Structure 1
Amino acid sequence: MPAMADLPETEDGEYDHDFRADPEPYRVGRGEEGVFKVQPYKSELLPRWGYADPATAADAAESIYEQFLRYRRDEEFVGMDLARKYLQMGYTRAMRYAHYPGGKKYDADGTEREKVHWADPEKRKAALIFDHVLGRVEADEVYQTRKREWREQRG
Structure 2
Amino acid sequence: MVRASSDQVGMAPKTKQEPPDLDVNDLPTPALDSQDLRMSYRIARGEQGVLTFEPYKSLLLPHWRFRNIPIAQTSSATLWRAFQHYVEAGDLVGADMARKFIQMGMTRAKRYANHKGGRKYDRSPREVEREGGGRVELPKSLAHEGMEEKLGASEVFKEVWRRCVGDERYLELKREFLAEQKVWDGERKKTLKKEEEMKVVKDEEVDDG
Q: CA deviation at 1:20?
A: 5.0
Q: Are positions 1:115 and 2:127 aligned together?
A: no
Of 85, 89, 96, the residue aligned with 1:81 is: 96
**Which residue in the other structure is 1:11 paired with?**
none
Instruction: Extract unaligned runs of 5+ from structure 1.
Output: 1-17
Structure 1 counterpart SS, 2:48: coil
Which of the two has greater helix per residue?
2
Cα displacement string for residues 11-53 of structure 1 (whole angstroms, at most 9, x for unaligned residues): xxxxxxx645321222211111111122221121101100000
* CA RMSD, 1 decimal: 1.8
Instruction: Extract unaligned runs of 5+ from structure 2.
Output: 1-29, 124-133, 183-209
**Distance (Å, rounded) in 2 between the aligned partners of 1:146 and 1:20:** 12
Structure 2 counterpart SS, 1:24: helix
- The AA in structure 2 aligned to 1:114 is P
**Distance (Å, rounded) in 2 between the aligned partners of 1:118 and 1:35:** 30
Q: Are positions 1:21 and 2:36 aligned together?
A: no
| Structure 1 residues 1-155: aligned runs within 5 Å | 19-22=31-34, 23-108=38-123, 110-117=135-142, 119=144, 120-155=147-182
Q: CA deviation at 1:117?
A: 4.9
Larger radius of gyration: 2
TM-score scaled to structure 2, two decimals? 0.62
Identity of aligned residues (%): 38
- The AA in structure 2 aligned to 1:115 is K
Q: Is the 8 A contact 1:92 1:127 kept in 2?
A: yes
What is the aligned residue count?
138
Q: Which has the higher contact order (CA 8 A, sep 6+)?
A: 1
TM-score scaled to structure 1, two decimals? 0.82
**Distance (Å, rounded) in 1 between the aligned partners of 2:175 and 2:142:** 36
Q: Quickly say closer, same or farther: Cα 1:20–1:146, change in 2 above 3 A.
A: closer
